[in-house]
């Protein structure tokens, strides 16, 4: 082989190796976690749905509690910016019960919460299609809007300074309490190698006057998560739910079933830090 040709091939090989190394290094840097992107948040939601008018309503609902205190409950009582949704005429407090601190909400009268939307527009008989330009379709003359039963929502979002232990939160984080007789269960869907699912019991206090055929649907959810950017947004979380449906007058204390899933998501590149959490101002 000609000496000049060998030299050119050697130079080309070196260039290719340098380019491949640069691309590989750039990709490596791209998929590394960005420290400035780390966030640690939690969201509590309570859904309340009556299908008839309730009076003299007082409900005690599970709260995320750690070491006897609940940042979520404190935020609701104080009306902090973390309270995303809450009916303006509801009163909130944190009460100490035999089952531990719980969220007390009260309202003199609770009406069913209906939502109305326009009835579907009829399909034209002439074969023409409706133009999608109208942002809000108007119901045809004589049609009745569709009326559906909706829920009342109480929602609180909190941000924390330190990583949240989403693998074993019961030992180190605020979780829904009361939490009784937790047992391991199979996870319905694969959500990561660290995922574990459990069923647990909890309590609610439901006091009100209602018609015999009235029902009240109550659901509480809590999710806490760590998020960060590493070649794309990723993260890990744990979540809990507990709910019940009752009929007639408020029955007082009731046993409620709950479910939780921990270790959801990925832990590659997860932030490291104390399991203790500190709430950011606001």
- pLDDT for residue 279: 35
- pLDDT for residue 135: 54
- pLDDT for residue 274: 35
- pLDDT for residue 11: 55
- pLDDT for residue 7: 55
pTM: 0.78
Q: For residues 194 and 208, is the Cβ–Cβ distance under 8 A?
A: no
> What residues does each domain of the chain span?
36-114+148-265
Q: For residues 113 and 149, is the Cβ–Cβ distance under 8 A?
A: yes
**Predicted confidence pLDDT, tens digits, the chain (282 residues):** 566 655 555 555 555 555 445 444 333 344 454 777 899 999 999 999 999 999 999 999 999 999 999 999 999 999 998 999 999 999 999 999 999 999 999 999 999 999 877 767 666 655 555 555 555 555 555 567 787 999 999 999 999 999 999 999 998 999 999 999 999 999 987 777 889 999 999 999 999 999 999 999 999 999 999 999 987 889 999 999 999 999 999 999 999 999 999 999 998 877 765 333 333 333
């Amino acid at each position: 082989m000609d000496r000049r040709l060998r030299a050119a091939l050697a130079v080309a090989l070196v260039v290719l190796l340098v380019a491949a190394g640069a691309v590989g290094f750039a990709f490596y840097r791209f998929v590394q976690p960005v420290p400035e992107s780390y966030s640690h948040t939690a969201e509590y939601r309570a859904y309340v749905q009556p299908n008839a008018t309730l009076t003299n309503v007082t409900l005690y609902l599970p709260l995320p509690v750690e070491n006897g205190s609940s940042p979520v409950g404190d935020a609701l009582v104080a009306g902090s910016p973390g309270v995303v949704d809450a009916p303006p005429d509801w009163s909130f407090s944190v009460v100490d019960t035999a089952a531990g601190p719980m969220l007390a909400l009260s309202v003199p009268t609770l009406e069913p919460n209906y939502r109305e939307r326009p009835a579907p527009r009829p399909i034209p008989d002439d074969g023409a299609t409706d133009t999608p330009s109208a942002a809000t379709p108007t119901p045809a003359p004589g049609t009745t809007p569709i009326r559906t039963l909706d829920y009342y929502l109480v929602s609180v979002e909190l941000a924390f300074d330190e990583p949240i232990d989403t693998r074993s939160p019961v030992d180190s984080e605020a979780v829904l309490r009361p939490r009784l007789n937790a047992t391991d269960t199979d996870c319905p869907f694969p959500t990561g190698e660290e995922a574990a699912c459990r069923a647990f019991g909890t309590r609610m206090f439901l006091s009100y006057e209602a018609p015999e055929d009235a029902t009240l649907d109550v659901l509480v959810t809590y999710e806490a998560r760590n998020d960060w950017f590493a070649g794309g947004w990723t993260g890990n979380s744990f979540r809990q739910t507990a709910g019940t449906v009752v009929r007639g007058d408020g029955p007082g204390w009731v046993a409620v079933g709950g479910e939780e899933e921990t270790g959801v998501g990925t832990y590659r590149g997860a932030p490291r830090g104390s399991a203790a959490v500190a709430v950011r101002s606001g």
